[in-house]
Amino acid sequence: MDSTTTETAVAVGVFGASILMLMLIVLGYYILLIIARWKLFEKAGVEGWKSIIPIYSDYVEWTIGWKNVTMFWVALGLVVAGAFLGGLTGQFTTTPSGEVVASSGAGFFGIICTLLMCAGGVIALIGDYKLFQSFGKGVGFFIGYLFVPNIMMLILGFGSAQYLGAQD
């Protein structure tokens, strides 16, 4: 084996070890997020396993933070309607890399679809704010959530915040 082959093998080994280490760190981080959300549910008196079921966990989280559960369905409906109408009318296309983007000729329907999805997103943010209020957190915590959402959820889950009840 010559020195070039050895150097290449070492470089590939270091690169592979670096990727593996990064994957382990990311996996550990996501496990922490799952545990934090589990603890958040338990603080609110809800079984922790409900935090790991997709969509249902969002519904349960909504009931923890806000008494008006109808708004969950409104937000979900707006986002789904915007995405469905956008796809149905060809307003969104998929790039070769798999990314969904608005087509250049989106026009009126593109604006409507975007507005529907944005309205759903705003209602979801209000739901998040209500969740934080139900744990005694205020506007500052919510603003932090807008910038670093996962960190704020870790603080809420592992912190000393006590559940005060769903908000009106």
* Per-residue pLDDT reduced to its tens digit, 82-106: 888 776 666 566 777 777 776 655 5
Query: Residue 137: pLDDT band by 50, 70, 90 thresholds?
Result: very high
pTM: 0.76
Residue-range domain boundaries for the chain: 3-158
Decide if 127 contacts 66 (C-beta within 8 A): yes
Map tokens 């960190």 to a residue: 151
Report the C-alpha gap between 89 and 78 in whole angstroms. Answer: 16
Please spell the DSSP secondary structure of 63-131, one letter per residue.
HHHBS-THHHHHHHHHHHHHHHHHHHTT-EEE-TTS-EEE-TT-HHHHHHHHHHHHHHHHHHHHHHHHH
Lowest mean pLDDT among 26-40, 42-56, 103-117, 138-152: 103-117
Map tokens 């915007």 to a residue: 82
* Per-residue pLDDT reduced to its tens digit, 34-87: 999 999 999 999 999 999 999 999 999 999 999 888 999 999 999 888 888 776
pLDDT of residue 92: 63
